[in-house]
């Protein structure tokens, strides 16, 4: 007689240990919490950029043949400085918050603050602890730079195609047997419950 028992939650065996895989909603929740934390860390850079360009009189600026006209040299320098401040802030936050929190030792290893709040963590297929290098590749290079490039470069067709690709990357855990997203496949990781 066949068993009528319902199957348990999906699991993965890593380094001889069976771990429960994280469901999609906790992953989304952790992402949103981390996104808000990232914005909070970036806020001083955003404010600095606004202060830098606050004195520019944009009322005299016109777009002529695809070029901005009416900006003084000082205004152009201010805009360039504001852009550099935003790039520096993005790099600083991207290279520190998620990779460093995931590389913590002990109980917090593999967890950003968002993941920690929702009881999930990233583990490597090898069973080794998450260190700064793999965390940097997963969180900054794949999820930040690669996804950003795919979704934001080119004409309208490639941007739409890139946006669809990113949506699929984030939605993939909904139908994958091991609840893995694109970054998990690329970086040989799993997101598990604690």
pLDDT per residue as tens, the chain (194 positions): 555 655 667 889 888 889 999 999 999 999 999 999 999 999 999 999 999 999 888 888 888 888 878 888 898 899 999 999 999 998 999 999 999 999 999 999 999 999 999 999 999 999 999 999 999 999 988 888 877 776 665 555 555 666 777 788 888 899 989 899 989 999 999 999 99
Which range marks the domain in which residue 142 is found?
19-193
Query: Is residue 6 one of the residues assigned to a domain?
Result: no
- How many structural domains is the chain composed of? 1
Helix pair 24-53, 73-102: axis angle to 10 deg: 150
Query: Is residue 123 one of the residues assigned to a domain?
Result: yes
């Amino acid at each position: 007689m066949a068993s009528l028992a319902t199957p348990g939650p999906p699991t993965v065996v890593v380094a001889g240990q069976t771990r429960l895989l994280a469901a999609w909603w906790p992953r989304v929740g952790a992402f949103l919490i981390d996104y808000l934390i990232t914005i909070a860390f970036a806020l001083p850079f955003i404010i600095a950029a606004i202060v830098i360009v606050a004195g520019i009189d944009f009322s005299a600026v016109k777009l002529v043949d695809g070029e901005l006209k009416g900006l003084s040299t000082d205004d152009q320098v201010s805009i360039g400085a504001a852009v550099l401040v935003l790039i520096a802030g993005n790099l600083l936050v991207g290279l520190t918050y998620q990779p460093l929190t995931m590389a913590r030792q002990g109980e917090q290893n593999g967890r950003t603050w968002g993941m920690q709040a929702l009881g999930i963590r990233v583990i490597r297929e090898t069973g080794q602890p998450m260190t700064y290098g793999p965390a940097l590749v997963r969180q900054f290079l794949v999820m930040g730079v690669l996804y950003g490039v795919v979704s934001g470069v080119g004409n309208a067709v490639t941007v739409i195609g890139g946006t669809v690709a990113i949506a699929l990357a984030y939605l993939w855990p909904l139908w994958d047997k091991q609840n893995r997203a694109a970054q998990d496949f690329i970086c040989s990781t799993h997101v598990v419950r604690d």
